[in-house]
Structure 1
Amino acid sequence: MARSGRRRQRHRGEIEERPSGNLRVKVYVGTDPLTKRRRYLTESIPAGPRAYEQAEKALTRLQNQVDEQRHPRTSATVNQLIDKWLTDVVDVATSTRTTYEGNIRKHIRPILGPLQVGRVNAEVIDSFYAELRRCRDHCNGRRRTEHRTDRPHECDARCGKHKCRGLAPSSRRQIHWILSGMFTAAMRWRWIAVNPIDQTEAPAQPAPNPTPPSTEEAARLVEEAWNRDPDWGTFVWLAMALGARRGELCALRWSDIDLTNGLVFLQRALTRDLAGELVEKSTKTHQHRRVVLDPETVEVLAEHRTRCQAHAQLVGEPLAGDGYVFSPEPGGCTPPAPASISQRYERMAASLRIRTTLHKLRHYSATELIAAGVDVRTIAGRLGHGGGGATTLRVYAAWVSEADQRAAKSLAGRMPPRPRRRANTDLGVNLPAPPSA
C-alpha cells in the first residue's frame, strides 16, 4: 500500500506530497454546521521544479480566504438549502407557498439541486436561466413524443412531437426571487460569503397587458349570468362593480355590507390551505378597505339578500347575520369554492364565445374608471393595489394613455380658431384665406 510522502505543516494548513509526485494543499476551515464534520479547503499542485513554491502561494491564498471569510462554511447542496429555507424562513400564504414549491420541484431541484451551495456562481445561474428560456421541460434535445398524460392511455391528437417552449418571463422572474431568498439566507447563516444572485441580472419584467372584456362583451356576460341564475348574476355584477379579487368576493359576509350607507368592507380573502381546506386569510396586500357602492349595486345586493332569506325560510333555517353572501347553502354558513367560481365563469364565457377569465373583470373595472377620468390613487384604493397607485399606473399605463388621447381631442374641440393668415405671412408664404363660414 502506497504511503504519502513528506509533509510541510503550517498554521491551520499543510502541504502534502502524494505518491504521484503531486502536492496537495489543505487548510482547516472549521466544522460543517450541518454534518458537524471537520472541513478543509484543498488544492492540488502538479509535480515540477517549482511545485513547492506554487504550493506555498496556494497555502497562503487559501488561508487568506479563511481569514477573510470568503470560503463556503458547508458542503451542503442546494437541495439541503432548499429544505432548510422552506422550513425555517418561508412564511407566506398557502397559495404563494404552493407556487414556490411547484417551481422548486419542476425547475430548481432537477438542475441546481445536486450542486454544492458554495459552487453555485454567477456563471452557473446564467446557464440555468438560459435553460429556462430554452425549454420548460428541460429536454435533452432528442426527438420524443409528448403525451397528454402520464397515465396509461391511447394516444390521440393531443399527443404529438415535443416542441421546446421556454418558460414564461413572469415564471422566470418568480424563480429568480426564490433563488435570491434562498442564497440571501445562506449568506445570513454564513454558509457562503458571496450571493451569486446579486451578481446576475433578474429576468426582465414582462410588460403589463390587461385585456378586459369590451363594454359589449361585459353586457353579454352579465345578461347571460342573470338568465342562468339571479344569484350568479349578482356575483358577476359585483365583480364588475367592485373590481375585487376572486378570493375577496368569496369571503364576503353580510356583516361586511352596509346597504343603508352603500358601503362594502373588504378585509379578508378565501383560499385553500396545504390540506386542501378552505380557510380565510388577509387580503393580498393586507389592506382593509372600504368601497362605496353605487345605488344600482345597492339595489342588486338588497334583492339578493331578500332571495337568500327566502331560500333559508324554505328549509327552515335563519339567514346567518355573518353568513357568506354567495354561500351555496341557504343558511350562508358554507363559503363558495373560488376554483369552482372561476370554472363556472369560464364555461359561461366559452358558451358566448368570449375569451376571458374572471380576473379580467377586475381589469374591466379599472379601465372603465380610468376612462371615466377617476384619479389613479382613488382607483388603487378601490382595487386594493399597494404603492399608492404605482401598481395601478404600471399595469394600466396603456389605458391612461388612451384616456389622455381622448382628452387631447376634447381640448382641440374647445381651442379658439388659429390665425392662419398671420402665421403664413410670418413664414413668407402667401396663401389664400380660408373660406368664410
Structure 2
Amino acid sequence: MGYIEKRGQNSYRLVVNAGFDTDGSRIRRTKTVKCKNQTEAKIELAKFVTEIEAGEYITPEKMTFAAFIIEWKAKYASKQLEASTYETYKTLLENQILPKFGHKRMDQINTMQILNFLESLSQEGMRSDGKPGTLSSATIQFYHRVLKNIFSRAVDWKVIKENPVANIKKPKVDSKRAKVYTEEQVGMLMSYIANEDPKWKMIITLAISTGMRRGEILAIEWNHVDLEKRKIHIQQSLTYTKEKGYTFKEPKTKNSIRTISLSPIVTEQLRQYKLYKNKQKLRLGDKWKGNERNLLFSTWDGQPMYPSSISSWWRKRLKMYGLPQITFHELRHTSATLLINEGVHMKTISARLGHSKIGITMDLYGHALESADEAAANKFDHLFQQKKQENI
C-alpha cells in the first residue's frame, strides 16, 4: 500500500496509495520525514498508513494551525526542547497564540497577520494574569521566538512553502538595570536571616557569596563540595515542570560547569550545616528519601525542593524584614556588583558567574564598573588635597 523514497541525508519521502478519485486517477498521499535510517523510515511509513486508514490524516494544504501544533508538540517540542522551555512555549500558545491562529489554515497565515498580532501584545489588557499594565518587551520577544520556531518546523516538514515569520525582525527588549542591594543592605539582610532555619540561611548565604543561579543551588550534592579546599563544583541544575517533574541537567553553557572558591567563613557555615543535615537524616531514619543524590537543600525528608519555593519564601521574608523588594535572582547581580566595588577583576567575576563570554558580564554590569571607576578616580582627590595642604 505504501513505499519509501530516499530524498537526501536522513530524509525520506513516504508515499501511500489511497485509492482512486471520481475520474479514476490514483490518489497518493505523501509525507517527508527525518529518519536516521531505512528502519526508522519503515516505522514512520507504518504510522502514516495507519493515520490514513483511520481517517486521521489531514493533508498539509488543509491543516489548521491548531492541528499542526499537535504534530509539532509530539514530533519536535516534547523531544527537542528543554522541559522548562517547552512548558513556557505551551503557556504562550494557550494564552494568546492558539486563540488567535488556532482556527486558521497554516497556508493562510501571513506575515502581516503575525506582525499585527505581535503589535497587539504591547497593548493594555493582554496580560493573562489579569494584572494592570502591558506585557514586557522580553515576553513579546519570546512570542516571536515561539512563532518562528513553529513555522520553521512547518517549512521543514513541507506543510508550508515559506515561513511568514522569517522576515519579521525580533522585537527589541527594553534593557532594565537589575536592582541590587548595597553592602549596607546585605549586612542588614544577613543579620535578619541569622535566626532563620539553617537551610534558608545557607541558601541566601551561598546566593550572595557565590552568585549561583537558583537551579544550581538546589542541585548541589554533598559530593560536589570540598570543604578542605573550600570549593563548590557546579555540575548540574534543577528544574521542575508539571509534565516531567524534577529534572537534573547540565547547566545552560559549558562555562556554567565551574568551580567556585568559598571564603573561610562560608566554608565553616557549610561545615556546621552539614552536621545539622546529618542529624536530620539520622533522626528520620527510614523516612529519609534523599540517599540517591544527598542534596544540600531538600524537603524535610530529603527530596528535591520546588525551585519556585525559594522565590516564594524570599518574597515573604523581604516583606517581613522591610527590605527593598528584589527578586531572588537579583542576589546573583548583587554578588557581582559587590565584587566589582571591591575591585575584583571582571574576568574572575565572569568565571564565578559561569558566563560563556566576559562580554556578557561587561554588558550586564558595565554600569557598576563605571561607578567603581568613578569611585577609584575620586580617591586621587585625597592625595591632591593632602599635597595642596603641604604646600600652604
| Same fold? TM cut 0.5 | yes
Contact 2:219–2:295 (8 Å) recurs in 1: yes
Which amino acid letter does the alignment assign opposite residue 79 of structure 1?
A
Residue 180 of structure 2, aligned match among 212, 217, 222: 212
Residue 347 of structure 2, aligned match among 362, 373, 377: 377
The residue that corresponds to 1:69 in the other structure is none
Count of aligned pairs: 333
What's the CA shift string for 1:316-365, capped at 9, x where partnerless? 579959511123337xx422332222212221111012212221111111
Distance in 2, Cα, partners of 1:311 & 1:435: 65
The residue that corresponds to 2:328 in the other structure is 358
For residues 32-431 of structure 1, the aligned pairs below 5 Å read 74-90=61-77, 91-137=80-126, 165-275=133-243, 277-285=245-253, 287-315=256-284, 323-329=294-300, 333-354=302-323, 355-386=325-356, 388-410=357-379
Q: Residues 94 and 73 (structure 1 numbering): CA distance in 2 closer, same or farther, change over 3 Å?
A: closer
Q: What TM-score, normalized by structure 2, do the two folds share?
A: 0.75
Displacement of 1:32 in angstroms is 7.0
What's the CA shift string for 1:179-227, capped at 9, x where partnerless? 1111222222233333222221211122141101222222222222221
Secondary structure of 2:201's aligned partner: helix
Q: Residues 123 and 360 (structure 1 numbering): CA distance in 2 closer, same or farther, change over 3 Å?
A: same
Q: Residues 320 and 107 (structure 1 numbering): CA distance in 2 closer, same or farther, change over 3 Å?
A: closer
Contact 1:32–1:75 (8 Å) recurs in 2: no
Displacement of 1:413 in angstroms is 5.5
Percent sequence identity is: 25
Secondary structure of 1:191's aligned partner: coil
Q: What TM-score, normalized by structure 1, do the two folds share?
A: 0.68
Consecutive unaligned residues of structure 2, counting only runs of 5 or more, are 1-26, 32-58
Which amino acid letter does the alignment assign opposite residue 319 of structure 2?
A
Q: Residues 353 and 84 (structure 1 numbering): CA distance in 2 closer, same or farther, change over 3 Å?
A: same
Secondary structure of 1:329's aligned partner: coil
What's the CA shift string for 1:23-56, capped at 9, x where partnerless? xxxxxxx97757xxxxxxxxxxxxxxxxxxxxxx
Distance in 1, Cα, partners of 2:109 & 2:352: 44
What's the CA shift string for 1:371-407, capped at 9, x where partnerless? 2222333222211222x12322222222122222223
Which amino acid letter does the alignment assign opposite residue 86 of structure 1?
K
Q: Residues 417 and 242 (structure 1 numbering): CA distance in 2 closer, same or farther, change over 3 Å?
A: closer
Contact 1:79–1:114 (8 Å) recurs in 2: yes
Q: Residues 351 and 405 (structure 1 numbering): CA distance in 2 closer, same or farther, change over 3 Å?
A: same
Q: Which has the higher relative contact order, 1 or 2, with Cα contacts under 8 A spaced 6 or more apart?
A: 2
Distance in 1, Cα, partners of 2:108 & 2:293: 56
Q: Residues 260 and 197 (structure 1 numbering): CA distance in 2 closer, same or farther, change over 3 Å?
A: same
Which amino acid letter does the alignment assign opposite residue 280 of structure 1?
F
> Could you list the runs of 4 or more consecutive aligned residues of structure 1 that deviate by over 6 angstroms after TM superposition?
415-418
Distance in 2, Cα, partners of 1:168 & 1:33: 42
With 369-378 and 312-321 compared, the bigger mean Cα shift is at: 312-321
Distance in 1, Cα, partners of 2:390 & 2:224: 65
Distance in 2, Cα, partners of 1:236 & 1:244: 10
What's the CA shift string for 1:99-141, capped at 9, x where partnerless? 11001111111112222222222211211112111245389xx
Higher helix share: 2
Which amino acid letter does the alignment assign opposite residue 80 of structure 1?
A
The residue that corresponds to 1:156 in the other structure is none
Larger radius of gyration, structure 1 or 2? 1
Displacement of 1:78 in angstroms is 2.2
Secondary structure of 2:166's aligned partner: helix
Distance in 2, Cα, partners of 1:228 & 1:299: 17
Consecutive unaligned residues of structure 1, counting only runs of 5 or more, are 1-29, 35-71, 140-145, 149-161, 419-433
Which amino acid letter does the alignment assign opposite residue 70 of structure 2?
D
Contact 1:256–1:265 (8 Å) recurs in 2: yes
Distance in 2, Cα, partners of 1:31 & 1:401: 67
